[in-house]
Structure 1
Amino acid sequence: MRLLRPLLMTAALLTALPAAAQELRIGFKAAVDGSDPHQNYTPNRNVQLHVYEPLVFQDPFMRPLPGAASSWRQISDEAWEFTLREGLTFHDGTPVTADDVVFSIKRAREITGLRTFVGQTRSIASAEAKDARTVIIRTRGLSTLLPNQMAVIAIVSRRLAEGAVEADFNGGRAAIGTGPYRWVRLSQGQDVVLERAERHWREPEPWQRVTFRFIGNDSARVAALLAGDVDVIDNVPAALYGRVRDSDRSQLITGTGLFTLYMYLDHFRDQVVYATGPDGQPLARNPIRDPRVRQAMNLALNRAALAERAMEGSADPIGQFAGPGFIGHDPSLPVPAQDIAQARRLLAEAGYPDGFGLTIHCTNNRFAGDSRTCQVVGQMLTSVGIRVTVDALPTAVFFRRANGGQGLDPEFTAFMAIFASSTGVASETMSSILRTRNAALGQGPLNRGRYSNPAMDAALDRVDRTLDDAERERAMGAAARIAIEDNAILPIFSLRASYGVRRGLTLTPRGDQYTMATGIRTAP
């Protein structure tokens, strides 16, 4: 097991820093809308990881490292043992015990709503405290990815968080973690303020105060960096790369990203509203349920052009569920090549020699280039005979309709959205968005297209049961191949992590695109 080697600054250097140098100001695209660490929402979790630590940390490619737990081991086919770091305490000085961990797992599993960690905790049958520093987690059968899944469960104090509500975490009684920073306040729609914790098991952070300031407009965020109003910004759009890169005040840093744009497809309705014939009326049958139609749609896409032109170089074309460097990437699975002639032949074989009409839904403010990408995808599909109408919606409206209330049965027939598993593991992505839905086992919680393939389910079962790391990754590749050959969902490209950073600072890009103060330092 690799040891965690964080970047450290000595106490002497900290005292030598001027007060202004100890404040870090981050311009954040997405607004944090909650302080409860067990609500699974990416912007919230990004900030909360500074305050609440999981048992297992993740490196920039989401591979597991020791966190609040100094070690872990599998003690039987259905049990893992995690050992807490010696001397680990909460910010108020009280020791962290195995009972706090058991409570945190239980709370994360039982919290309700759409933003839950039910998928990541699906394999857990129970958790118990063996002694003050040892937690035993029992699983439903063999669960080889449990350490990866534990990287998303924040540890809170049972004493303070039992019965806690949102206000208790926003600077109230429950806002106590084990991380290098303490929670000060969340101002809705404005910012989150953190302060360096007096107690932490690592060397003190160089930043006394960290402010995440919400600046949703891309141009305004870049302008704030260039004006010196903030020190770091996230999600630099490709159209503004040059402004950040060419300024004598800032630098552009990019890295391989985990968030992937997928086209989700309706596999469960016999007839759909948004697939129409020449007369504009809904077709008698859902054409997407025909594998030849799905393959034709796949072959219509020029992923390289989408990444380079529609996204202006801020994305990488992809044809699977994990990019290079991430767990489960299979080098033998190529990015599909565009083949317009074959796509047209497949449509004719499926009974659509003259094509059909299709409305594609997507977001228009989820990431830079989302609406433009949707328009170009529509043009590519139209070129093979699928006459596309694009309906680009604000994110809040899009997901309300994509979620079908809370039943996760979208009204859409084909729609595009980005997704990334918080574990960074390819099989976990498939388990969330493609595995046959099984609420009792926490499988397929975001399978909006209701895809169901026993062969892929069985392949994912093998992943869950395989102990050897290399063999498990091969099993992930086998599961991915089944889904890709069936065109269950269409991976299009992965977004590059992009940051604007004040000169004089260094930043380590992360696959999850998180902006971590713990990865930002003054340049040597």
Structure 2
Amino acid sequence: MNLKKRTMYLLGAVLLVLAFASCGSAKAMDSFTLGLPADAKSLDPHQSVDTMSFAVTKHINEALVTVDCKTKEIVPVLVETWEMVDPQTYKFFLKKGVKFHNGEEFTAEDVVFSLTRAASPASVHAGSRGKYIDKDGFQIIDNYTVIVKTNGPVGGFLESMKHPYASIFSKKAVEEAGEEYFRHPVGTGPFKFKSWVKGERIELEAFDDYHGEKANFKNFTILVLPDASSRVIALETGKVDMIYAVPASDFDRLKNSDKAQAVKAQGLCLIYLGMNTQKKPLDDPRVRLAIEYAINKEAYDAVVYQNNSSQPDGPLVPASTFTPENVKKYPFDPEKAKALLAEAGYKDGITLELWISNYEDRVNGATVIQSMLGQIGIKTNIQVFESGVFDTRVKTNEQDLIISTWGMQTNRDAGQFWLSLFHSGSIGSTNWTALKDSVVDEGINEVNKTIDKAERKILFQKIWDRLDELHPMVALSVPNELYGTKIGLVGLEEFCDGRLNYLGNLSLKD
């Protein structure tokens, strides 16, 4: 990052502080309680892909960089600055005086250790983001300067480095504690870990020696409240200060409540119906296209999300860095769906299993899909799994259909998004349609090592067109993120990643 950009970033930060100072006073809170619909699956960001885990770990751990919500530019966190030496070599100049929660100083050794671990085969991200880091290419210049190499040029590399998978851990603490470290994680973030009663609560506490702006509250409690109605009641009765995943059916009521307030943010998560492309009869593209035509997406949104959502044109969210051209539309057409099934040899219908996690919108959505597919002769048996079990089971690729989600909260680059969802190297980790196509693989490989934006756009379009031919999934919806908070809570308008961002900046109107 050059001096001019660094200066403008600092100026913007000062102006933002002044803007808040002129907009009325706010007061800090001693404690803050958040209600979530599910527990964190892991406090190890290298083994997590779920929102609930990231909602916790992003308060404990930090990556080298993040994104500025207003400018959308990559900005420093654990670095002072950086420079791209060549298209596959980055030099990071680390921030001095940063401490881990155990008192150890943050150095280049911790960076190399953490990113090596992130790229290792044991990491859930190894087949996607981690594959681009050259594990043998690190070079420590001194305690505060480190070189990170990639396996060839990587378009959007810095964007990927703000992902939780790039979190930096204390090398010494991990080596001393082993895997127990992630039951009691130690980071550089604004909050330190206190306790975790699985399935019930996680307790965090503000870190007094945090290197950045201190949190506005000392004690941070995350309560696990799986029942949606119970979450809303907990908010209205003051048991919690904020809830995530407000049911769409309760959102309008909260907007008019004198006990709580409702907040909406643009969604960055694609809800999709995934089809196992390697399992009969779904290995036939005609069957997959028939299912596409059988789904009335407007009705799906109306029933499941009460229209608090937007409809995607395909396997991307509107906020992606790439916007496709000449998008083909697949309107609701059950007669065409029946004809395609007959053409594929299934005029008498088929029976499929539909796997879902136990989130309310998945359960409601599965019922809608079951009804729609039934109209064209496809019988679906719905299997509901606890969310953690679901994430484990789908990696086996034994399912026929799934309703699931993938988000762009931490990286809006289409190449990284498709790498996770459709690259054959991600089968067994995050590619839950088991798509294995050489054109898609080669396109993703090429776009993710291309730096030039114009060239990337051409490559993105080619991948999009090929995915359109293959139909590995039906893009169902991009739901808005719906929150509920206590009256007077401010700071949520700064959210920019579509889901739970850092919450330590929240405060109450005085």
TM-score by length of 1: 0.84
Q: Superposition RMSD on alpha carbons, in Å?
A: 3.0
1:429, distance to aligned residue in structure 2 (A): 2.4
1:104, distance to aligned residue in structure 2 (A): 0.8
Match in the other structure for 2:174: 161
Match in the other structure for 1:282: none
Distance (whole Å) between structure 2 residues aligned to residue 480 and residue 63 of structure 1 = 26
Give the counterpart of 1:356 among 326, 346, 349: 349
Give the counterpart of 2:270 among 257, 260, 264: 260
Match in the other structure for 1:272: none
Q: Confirm whether residue 40 of structure 1 aligns to residue 32 of structure 2.
A: no
Give the counterpart of 1:501 among 485, 493, 497: 485
Distance (whole Å) between structure 2 residues aligned to residue 391 and residue 50 of structure 1 = 34
1:339, distance to aligned residue in structure 2 (A): 2.3
Match in the other structure for 2:309: 315
Match in the other structure for 1:420: 407
Distance (whole Å) between structure 2 residues aligned to residue 477 and residue 520 of structure 1 = 40
Q: Give the AA of the match of 2:128.
A: G
Give the counterpart of 2:132 among 115, 120, 123: 123
Q: Note closer, same or farther for the CA distance 1:220–1:387 as it changes in structure 2 (3 Å cut).
A: closer
Give the counterpart of 1:226 among 236, 240, 243: 236
1:101, distance to aligned residue in structure 2 (A): 0.3
Q: Give the AA of the match of 1:216.
A: P
1:322, distance to aligned residue in structure 2 (A): 2.6
Match in the other structure for 2:100: 90
How do 1:123-202 and structure 2 match up within 5 A? 123-126=132-135, 127-151=138-162, 152=164, 153-171=166-184, 175-202=185-212
Match in the other structure for 1:479: 463
Q: Note closer, same or farther for the CA distance 1:263–1:355 as it changes in structure 2 (3 Å cut).
A: farther
Match in the other structure for 2:90: 80
Distance (whole Å) between structure 1 residues aligned to residue 102 and residue 142 of structure 2 = 22
What is the CA deviation profile of residues 414-456 of structure 1, one whole-angstrom value per residue up to 9, with x for unaligned ones?
Answer: 222222355343222221221123xxxx677322333222221
Q: Any conservation in 2 of the 1:191–1:212 contact (CA below 8 Å)?
A: yes
Q: Any conservation in 2 of the 1:328–1:427 contact (CA below 8 Å)?
A: no
Q: Give the AA of the match of 2:161.
A: M
Q: Any conservation in 2 of the 1:322–1:425 contact (CA below 8 Å)?
A: no
Distance (whole Å) between structure 1 residues aligned to residue 210 and residue 147 of structure 2 = 24
What is the CA deviation profile of residues 243-273 of structure 1, one whole-angstrom value per residue up to 9, with x for unaligned ones?
Answer: 322211211111122222222222224xxxx
1:105, distance to aligned residue in structure 2 (A): 1.0
Structure 1, unaligned runs of 5 or more: 270-285
Matched residue SS, 2:291: helix
Q: Note closer, same or farther for the CA distance 1:252–1:493 as it changes in structure 2 (3 Å cut).
A: same
Matched residue SS, 2:213: coil
Q: Give the AA of the match of 1:357.
A: I
Match in the other structure for 1:345: 339
Match in the other structure for 1:283: none
Structure 2, unaligned runs of 5 or more: none
Identity %: 25
1:483, distance to aligned residue in structure 2 (A): 0.8
How do 1:374-393 and structure 2 match up within 5 A? 374-393=366-385
- The aligned length equals 489
Match in the other structure for 2:32: 24
Distance (whole Å) between structure 2 residues aligned to residue 394 and residue 187 of structure 1 = 18
Q: Give the AA of the match of 1:363.
A: I
Q: Note closer, same or farther for the CA distance 1:242–1:17 as it changes in structure 2 (3 Å cut).
A: closer
What is the CA deviation profile of residues 359-398 of structure 1, one whole-angstrom value per residue up to 9, with x for unaligned ones?
Answer: 23132512x2212211211222232333444444443554
Distance (whole Å) between structure 2 residues aligned to residue 267 and residue 455 of structure 1 = 15
Distance (whole Å) between structure 2 residues aligned to residue 265 and residue 424 of structure 1 = 24
Please identify which structure carries the higher helix content. 2
Match in the other structure for 2:300: 306
Distance (whole Å) between structure 2 residues aligned to residue 63 and residue 292 of structure 1 = 42
Distance (whole Å) between structure 2 residues aligned to residue 64 and residue 491 of structure 1 = 29
Matched residue SS, 2:252: helix
Matched residue SS, 1:230: coil
Distance (whole Å) between structure 2 residues aligned to residue 519 and residue 322 of structure 1 = 30
Match in the other structure for 1:277: none
Q: Any conservation in 2 of the 1:38–1:116 contact (CA below 8 Å)?
A: yes
Q: Any conservation in 2 of the 1:53–1:177 contact (CA below 8 Å)?
A: yes
